[in-house]
């Protein structure tokens, strides 16, 4: 396999700095790979809101600089570092997700909670990500892509899909239970609805507007509640769930109000799963009612290697389909602009041209 010396990539040199599209960004050569590393030829990469946060330096964590962002990459292994022990081989189709590596040896890793490993390494944040044609990643955390799954579909599943699938797994629900998805028409929410429906839950969608109502109903929502036109959102949610409230609520929207409402409308023994990240926000739980109604509040942060494989399997079986728009790699700056203005619907997947 011939590996070029240079490639196309989108980089930024400083936090909040401009995005620069380069066609002469160096490609790490096979001989330069360390044990445990693989070089992946990336054909497609989804764009996640986290990538925009990384560019803007929104979080109390420093990114590597200069940085190639991106963590929903799909491609083929073209080289593996000498001295690597792995079942993966050159030619395998793989995905690069947010969690590029973790130690696999600490307590949280042994329990399958890899995302919270204190040695976790994130793609497009601590190491160069997938907005380039050739990315170096850690072979033990690469996700095999099922045969026949369109790379355009696989991209968004590697982050958005894994995140909501994991959230649903943590919702403490059984088939036939009601699960409310807040932000159901968005990039995360529209996937959450489909995973929930696929495992026999009864999804209640909360979002706004006719377009999103139509989309949510098509994707398996049992009822749609418009938070803008509803006179009493909590009463409408209870009315949609036999008067008792849903068994769980997955908050995929970045709304602090959505979190605090959930603590009131949830059914007794209900679970609030926190996913969306409103800035500087708090969940204010009344201690008496939390105890007396036996409520659970769970934070859910991406997923582990197994969650990624499961999430992709639903997509490969046609149970979950991301709403995507494909654009060229060099259009990333415009994509971010659209995300900031809120004009992007569904997920954007970049074609690298590799
Ligand atoms: Zn992401
Ligand atoms: Zn670990």
Spell out the domain ranges in the chain: 6-159+303-351, 171-299
Average pLDDT over residues 84-106: 97
261 near 233, Cβ under 8 Å?
yes
Q: How confident is the model at residue 226 (pLDDT cuts 50, 70, 90)?
A: very high
189 near 253, Cβ under 8 Å?
yes
The reported pLDDT for the residue numbered 160 is 97
Q: Which ligand is nearest to the CA of 115?
A: 2
Report which of 40, 22, 16, 20 is spatially closest to residue 30, judged by C-alpha positions: 40
User: Mind giving me the DSSP string for 270-309?
Assistant: -EEEE----TT------HHHHHHTT-EEEE--S--HHHHH
Alpha carbon of 111 to ligand 2 centroid (Å)? 9
Alpha carbon of 237 to ligand 1 centroid (Å)? 29
Rounded Cα gap, residues 212 and 210, in angstroms: 5
Q: How confident is the model at residue 59 (pLDDT cuts 50, 70, 90)?
A: confident
225 near 261, Cβ under 8 Å?
no
The reported pLDDT for the residue numbered 36 is 98
Q: Which CATH class is domain 171-299?
A: alpha beta
Alpha carbon of 123 to ligand 1 centroid (Å)? 10
Q: Which sign, positive or negative, has the C-alpha torsion 231, 235, 241, 242?
A: negative
Residue 1 has pLDDT above 80, yes or no: no
Alpha carbon of 280 to ligand 2 centroid (Å)? 28
Q: Which ligand is nearest to the CA of 118?
A: 2
Alpha carbon of 336 to ligand 1 centroid (Å)? 14
Angstrom CA distances, 325 to 1, 62, 147, 155, stand at: 30, 30, 22, 11
Report which of 152, 134, 124 is spatially closest to residue 38, judged by C-alpha positions: 134
Report which of 115, 166, 174 is spatially closest to residue 314, judged by C-alpha positions: 166
Q: How many CA atoms lie within 13 A of 184 on its CB side?
A: 35
Residue 19: both structure tokens together: 């995005």
Report pLDDT digits (tens) over 309-334: 999 999 999 999 999 999 999 999 99
Rounded Cα gap, residues 85 and 229, in angstroms: 57
Burial of 343 per CB tally in 10 Å (0-12, 13-18, 19+)? exposed
Q: Which sign, positive or negative, has the C-alpha torsion 262, 197, 150, 96?
A: positive
Report which of 16, 129, 6 is spatially closest to residue 68, judged by C-alpha positions: 129
Question: Which of 52-66, 194-208, 240-254, 276-290 has the lowest average pLDDT?
Answer: 52-66
Residue 345 has pLDDT above 80, yes or no: no
Rounded Cα gap, residues 248 and 246, in angstroms: 5
Give 205's strand partners.
181, 224
Same fold, 6-159+303-351 and 171-299: no
Give 325's strand partners.
348
Rounded Cα gap, residues 55 and 53, in angstroms: 5
CATH topology of domain 6-159+303-351: Quinone Oxidoreductase; Chain A, domain 1 (3.90.180)
Computed over every residue of the chain, the mean pLDDT equals 96
Q: Are strands 99-101 and 121-122 parallel, antiparallel or unpaired?
A: antiparallel
Q: What is the 3-state secondary structure (H, E, C) of 46-63?
A: EECHHHHHHHHCCCCCCC
Alpha carbon of 84 to ligand 2 centroid (Å)? 19
The reported pLDDT for the residue numbered 62 is 84
Rounded Cα gap, residues 193 and 295, in angstroms: 22
The number of beta carbons lying within 10 Å of the beta carbon of residue 189 is: 30
Rounded Cα gap, residues 43 and 41, in angstroms: 6
Alpha carbon of 101 to ligand 2 centroid (Å)? 9
Residue 354 has pLDDT above 80, yes or no: yes
Q: How confident is the model at residue 344 (pLDDT cuts 50, 70, 90)?
A: confident
Angstrom CA distances, 100 to 96, 114, 153, stand at: 7, 10, 20
Report pLDDT digits (tens) over 191-224: 999 999 999 999 999 999 999 999 999 999 999 9
Q: How confident is the model at residue 54 (pLDDT cuts 50, 70, 90)?
A: very high
Alpha carbon of 332 to ligand 1 centroid (Å)? 15
Average pLDDT over residues 185-190: 94
Alpha carbon of 127 to ligand 2 centroid (Å)? 17
């Amino acid at each position: 396999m011939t590996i070029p010396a240079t490639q196309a990539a989108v980089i930024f040199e400083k936090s909040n700095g401009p995005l620069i599209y380069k066609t002469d960004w160096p490609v790490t050569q096979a001989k330069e790979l360390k044990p445990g590393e693989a070089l992946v030829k990336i054909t497609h990469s989804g764009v996640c809101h986290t990538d925009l946060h990384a560019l803007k330096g929104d979080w109390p964590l420093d990114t590597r600089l200069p940085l190639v962002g991106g963590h929903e990459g799909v491609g083929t292994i073209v080289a593996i570092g000498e001295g690597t022990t792995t079942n993966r081989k050159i030619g395998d189709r793989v995905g690069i997700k947010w969690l590029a590596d973790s130690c696999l040896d600490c307590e949280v890793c042994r329990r399958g909670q890899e995302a919270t490993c204190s040695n976790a390494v994130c793609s497009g944040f601590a190491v160069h990500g997938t907005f380039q044609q050739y990315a170096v990643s850690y072979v033990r955390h690469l996700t095999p892509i099922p045969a026949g799954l369109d790379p355009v579909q696989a991209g968004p599943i590697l982050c958005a899909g894994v995140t909501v699938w994991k959230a649903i797994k943590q919702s403490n629900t059984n088939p036939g239970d009601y699960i409310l998805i807040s932000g159901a028409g968005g990039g995360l929410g529209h996937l959450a609805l489909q995973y929930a429906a696929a495992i026999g839950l009864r999804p209640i969608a909360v979002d706004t507007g006719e377009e999103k109502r139509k989309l949510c109903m098509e994707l398996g929502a049992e009822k749609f509640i418009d938070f803008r036109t509803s006179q009493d959102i909590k009463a409408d949610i209870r009315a949609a769930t036999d008067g008792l409230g849903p068994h769980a609520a997955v908050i995929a929207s970045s709304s602090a109000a959505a979190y605090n409402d959930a603590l009131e409308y949830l059914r007794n023994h209900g679970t609030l799963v926190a996913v969306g990240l409103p800035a500087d926000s708090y969940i204010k739980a009344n201690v008496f009612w939390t105890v007396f109604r036996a409520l659970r509040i769970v934070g859910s942060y991406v997923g582990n290697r197994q969650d990624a494989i499961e999430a992709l399997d639903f997509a490969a079986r046609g149970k979950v389909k991301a709403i995507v728009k494909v654009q060229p790699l060099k259009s990333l700056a415009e994509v971010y602009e659209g995300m900031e203005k809120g004009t992007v619907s569904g997920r954007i997947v970049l074609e690298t041209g590799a």
